[in-house]
Structure 1
Amino acid sequence: MKDLGPTELRLMQGLAQQVTALRPELLNADATVGELAWGWGKDVDALSQFWRHRLWFVDGRLAAWAWVYLPYRVPRGDGKFLEVEAANLIWQVHPDRPELLTEILDWYDDVAGDVDRLLTVQDADVQARASVAAHGYAFDAETGSDNGSWVQLNVRELADLPDPVPPTGFRFLVAEDVSVADAVKAHRDAWYPSSLTEAAFERVRRTWPYRADLHVLIEAPDGTLAATAIVWLDDVTRTAEFEPVGTHREFRRRGLGTALQLYGMRRARAAGAHRMLVACLGAPAHPAARNMYYGVGFRQLSRDLPQIKVARTREDSVGRSAR
C-alpha cells in the first residue's frame, strides 16, 4: 500500500467537505478539513511508518476512508517518550453510504493485529453506533467518563462578532509577520512538551488549506509570542475551524484566548467564512477550554463516544486471571 500522501489527504478532505455540508453533526472531530491537514502535516515525517490507510470508491468517487495509527513510541519535547500501546482508527463515510463502515471495521481488524482497537463514533450517528456494537466494540467507560479525554465539536455562526480587544501592550500578528522559528516556538510554548519542529511546520504550511494570513498570534509587550491559533478555511462550505489554539503557560488567564479567537473569527469572516468550528475536551472535569469557547459564542455540535475492542489475547489473559 502506498504511503498516505498529499493526494490521498486531499481526497479525504474532500469527503470531509461533503459531510460538513450535508450532515455536520456526523463529523468526527479528528476528520474535519483542518484537523486532517494539521495532523498529517505535523506528523507525517515522524509517524507515517505507523500509519495504515485505505480509501473506498463508489462510481469513481470517494465514499469512505480509514486511517489507522498502530502502536508507537516516539520522543517528546521534554526528553521523555510518548508511548501508545493501542491501535486507533480515524474514519469517515459519506452520509449516503453508512454500510461501508462494516468494511472499514473488517479491514481495521486485519491491520491492527493482536492489540486493543480504539475508535470514536458521534452521539448523533445511530447507524454507526449499531455497526460498531455489532462488530464487538463497547463504550470505553474510562475515556468516555466525566473525567475522561473525550472530545466535543463546537460550532458558531459568524454573523455577530464582538470587537477583539487584547490586553494593554499586547498586539495581534499573523504568521506572515514572524519567522518560522518563532511560530514554532509559540506553539511549543503553548503546548509543552510538543515536539513540533521547523521541518514539520514547513510541511503544515504546504498543506491545503493553510494560509499564513489566517494563522493568528498575540505578541506580549516584551516580544514573546503569547498565544497562537491556526484558522483553516474551507471556502467551498464557507466553514473555518481553529486547530490548534494555545496560550503560553506564563500568559494564561489574561483573556488572550478570548481575544485571539475573536480576532481569528473576524479574519475568517473577512475571508468568506460563515461559520466556525473548534474541538475541545468535553468531560465535565476539564472545563477550561470549553468555557473559553462558550464564552465567545460557541455551542456543542456533537460529541465523541469512544469505543474499545479488547484484543483477543488480552481477553484470554484476563479470563485466566479471573479463574
Structure 2
Amino acid sequence: MATELGTPGIGGLDEVVDALRRWQRDEAPLQLHPGDLGWYRRRGARACAAAVRTWRRQGRVLAVGLLDGPGLLRLTTAPEAEHDEELARSVVEDAARPERGVLGAGAVYVEAPTGSLVQDLLAERGWHADESWTPLRRDLAEPVEDPGLRIEVAGPERARAWAAVHRSAFEGSAFTASHWHAMAGGTPFTDARCLLAYDERDTAVAAVAVWSAGPGRPGLLEPMGVHRDHRRRGHGAAVTRAAAAALRRLGSSGALVCTPSARTAAVATYRAAGFRLLPERRDRRRDALPASARADRPGA
C-alpha cells in the first residue's frame, strides 16, 4: 500500500500527539517527543498544525515530522516502522522535493533518530552530516536529590514571571505570557509542568518546562534556562534536578534533554544534575538546489 503525506489540521493534532506518546521508549535513540509539539504550540494551534507532517498507510500514522524553524524537519517513525523501506523512501523523497510542501529549495536539514533507515537513505542521496548534538538522559527509578532552591510550579498566575526568565535566558527570545497561555492550551500540556526556581532573596533565577509522555515512558526537558543576571551559581543544575523530580512524580521512566555539542557549558550543567551522555547525533543537510533542479510549488 502507498504511503500518503498529509497535514493533520488543528482537529488532528491530538491524534499525532497520542502517536508520539506511544512511540517513546527508553531503549530508543532520542526522537521527536510530544513535548516538542507542546513547546511549538506556544505559536498557537493553527501554526502548530501547519508545521506538522504525517505519513500514513491505510489511514494509520507511521511517521511524524515537525517543521521546527526555517528549513528544519524533525522526524520520527513508529517503532515497528523503523526499518520499513517503502516508508523511509517516501519520507526522503517528500523531503527532497520542494513541490511536495515539506522542505524548500534552499539549504535544509532533517533530524531523524540515529541509526534510522531515513538517515541512511539521506546519506545515500548526498545529504551531509551537519551540526553535532548531545543527548543526555537521567534514569528516574530512584528519587532525585533536593535541588537546593525553592521550586514553584508556574501556572497562569506565574506566566509572566516564567516568560520573563525565559526571555532573559535566551538571547532574542520574544516569549510572553500570551505565548505561555497558547502553549498551555494544547493537549501535550496536560502532562507538562513549568517550574520556576527562586534564590534565597526570593528572586526567580531559572525556568524549565517538562513534558511527560505518560507513565513508564521517558519525559523531556524543553526548554531550560537561567536568568542572565544569575548565572554561574549552580542554578541551572538545580532547576534541572527539580525538572527530573517533577517528571518522576508524573510517572516518567527517565528524563531526556538534548543540546548542541558546542554548548559545553550546557552539557556540563546537565551532567552536574545527574544526566549521562548518550551517543552524539548529527542532523542531515542538503545545500540549496540549483535553479535547474527546482520545481515550482503549487500556488507559488
Q: State whether TM-score is above 0.5.
A: yes
Which residue of structure 2 lines up, in the alignment, with residue 217 of structure 1?
196
The reply to whether residue 118 of structure 1 matches residue 83 of structure 2 is no
**Offset, 1:280:** 1.5
Contact 1:217 1:228 in 2 (8 A): yes
2: CA distance, partners of 1:296 / 1:225: 19
The reply to whether residue 185 of structure 1 matches residue 164 of structure 2 is yes
Which residue of structure 2 lines up, in the alignment, with residue 106 of structure 1?
93
Which residue of structure 2 lines up, in the alignment, with residue 303 of structure 1?
280
Aligned-pair RMSD on alpha carbons?
3.0
Change (3 A) 1:315 1:130: farther
**Matched residue pairs, number?**
282
SS at match of 2:233: coil
The reply to whether residue 21 of structure 1 matches residue 20 of structure 2 is no
2: CA distance, partners of 1:204 / 1:88: 21
Which residue of structure 2 lines up, in the alignment, with residue 313 of structure 1?
290
Which residue of structure 1 lines up, in the alignment, with residue 240 of structure 2?
261
Poorly superposed stretches of 4+, deviation over 6 Å: none
Give the TM-score, by structure 2 length: 0.81
Q: Which runs of 5+ in 1 are unaligned?
A: 72-86, 145-149, 317-323
Which residue of structure 1 lines up, in the alignment, with residue 67 of structure 2?
68
Q: Which runs of 5+ in 2 are unaligned?
A: 294-300
Return the match for 1:156 from 125, 138, 143. Answer: 138
The reply to whether residue 276 of structure 1 matches residue 266 of structure 2 is no
Among all aligned residue pairs of Structure 1 and Structure 2, give the percentage whose two residues are the same amino acid.
22
More displaced, 130-139 or 245-254?
130-139
Q: How does 1:34-73 map to 2 (within 5 A)?
A: 34-39=35-40, 41-44=41-44, 53-68=52-67, 71=70
1: CA distance, partners of 2:68 / 2:34: 18
More displaced, 173-182 or 150-159?
173-182
1: CA distance, partners of 2:145 / 2:204: 21
1: CA distance, partners of 2:121 / 2:201: 54
SS at match of 2:274: coil
Contact 2:127 2:285 in 1 (8 A): yes
Which residue of structure 1 lines up, in the alignment, with residue 296 of structure 2?
none
Give the TM-score, by structure 1 length: 0.76
Which residue of structure 2 lines up, in the alignment, with residue 287 of structure 1?
264
CA-to-aligned-CA distance 1:192-239 (integer Å, 9 cap, x gap): 321112222111111223259832111234443111111111224432
Contact 1:124 1:302 in 2 (8 A): no
**Offset, 1:89:** 1.5
**Offset, 1:47:** 5.8
